[in-house]
């Protein structure tokens, strides 16, 4: 491995200076010469943990969205999308970020996915076995990919593409996603442009 001129040999592969946010704020306070006014503001965060409902979505619909999200990103050795309240996240994003037309397509998707489950298996999505859910979701994913590849500028996109994108976003940017599925360090403290990687090491957020 070739080292750059600006990097000493001991710097490569060294255990990163790992710091959580509280430590980071404390360290900044030290750097700034003691107590820092406003550190409480910097530490105050918002999470989705208290989101049990979303405007315009019923508890049943949130349960269905949880089921869809958990099919797209299921529990493995690490938790799946349901563990990050993916249904409430999708509902919030659709409500706050989508335009009316996209919103309507997404909502219609909730009806369509149950209809597709009924047509294929004779019962609603949530009544499907995990295997049936995965088969159906893979079929819908193939359908949306075909449509997307034919017309990438299509707007609104297929409802299942919305659900997949929101699930991936909501999962990997969640605390579980950032700290268990991939890696995130608030204050890396250094940059190394050439470090060894072996298959299986998690990506950086």
Q: Is 169 in the site for other proteins (CB under 8 A)?
A: yes
Q: What is the Cα–Cα distance from 117 to 48, expressed in whole angstroms?
A: 29
Asked if residues 205 and 172 have their Cβ atoms less than 8 Å apart, the reply is yes
9 binds other proteins (CB under 8 A): no
> Does 73 interact with other proteins (rule: CB under 8 A)?
yes
CA 198 to chain CA centroid, Å, is 24
Which position among 18, 53, 111, 205 is part of the footprint of other proteins (CB under 8 A)?
205
CB atoms within 10 A of CB 101: 10
Q: Quick one: angle between helices 100-121 and 130-150, nearest 10?
A: 130
Smallest separation (angstroms) from other proteins to the CB of 40 = 10
Question: In the bound complex, what is the minimum distance in angstroms from residue 122's beta carbon to other proteins?
Answer: 22
Contacting other proteins within 118-157 (CB under 8 A): 134, 137-138, 141-142, 145
Among the candidate windows 57-65, 69-77, 104-112, 151-159, which touches other proteins by CB under 8 A? 69-77
User: What are the phi and psi torsion angles at 204 (to 5°)?
Assistant: -80, 145
> Which segment (58-66, 113-121, 150-158, 192-200) binds other proteins by CB under 8 A?
192-200
Cα-based distances in Å from 149 to 9, 102, 146, 157, 201: 46, 19, 5, 11, 31
Residues 23-42 interacting with other proteins (rule: CB under 8 A): 24-25, 28, 31-32, 36-38, 41-42
Cβ atoms of 48 and 89 within 8 Å: the answer is yes
The count of chain residues that interact with other proteins, using the rule CB under 8 A, is: 71
Six-digit token string for 62 = 């949130």
- Is the CB of 59 or the CB of 202 nearer to other proteins? 202
**Applying CB under 8 A, does 45 fall inside the site for other proteins?**
yes
């Amino acid at each position: 491995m070739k080292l750059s001129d600006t990097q000493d040999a001991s710097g490569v592969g060294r255990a990163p200076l790992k710091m959580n946010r509280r430590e980071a704020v404390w360290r900044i306070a030290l750097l700034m010469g003691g107590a820092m006014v406003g550190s409480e503001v910097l530490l105050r965060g918002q999470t989705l943990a208290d989101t049990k409902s979303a405007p315009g979505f019923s508890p049943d619909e949130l349960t269905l969205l949880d089921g869809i999200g958990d099919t797209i990103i299921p529990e493995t050795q690490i938790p799946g999308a349901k563990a990050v309240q993916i249904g409430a996240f999708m509902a919030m994003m659709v409500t706050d970020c989508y335009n009316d037309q996209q919103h309507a397509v997404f909502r219609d998707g909730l009806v369509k996915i149950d209809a597709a489950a009924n047509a294929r298996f004779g019962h609603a999505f949530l009544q499907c076995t995990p295997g049936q859910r995965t088969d159906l979701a893979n079929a819908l994913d193939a359908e949306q990919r075909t449509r997307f590849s034919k017309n990438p500028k299509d707007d609104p996109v297929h409802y299942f593409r919305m659900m997949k994108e929101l699930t991936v976003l909501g999962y990997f940017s969640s605390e579980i996603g950032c700290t268990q599925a991939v890696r995130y360090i608030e204050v890396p403290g250094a940059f190394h442009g050439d470090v060894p990687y072996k298959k299986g090491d998690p990506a950086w957020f």
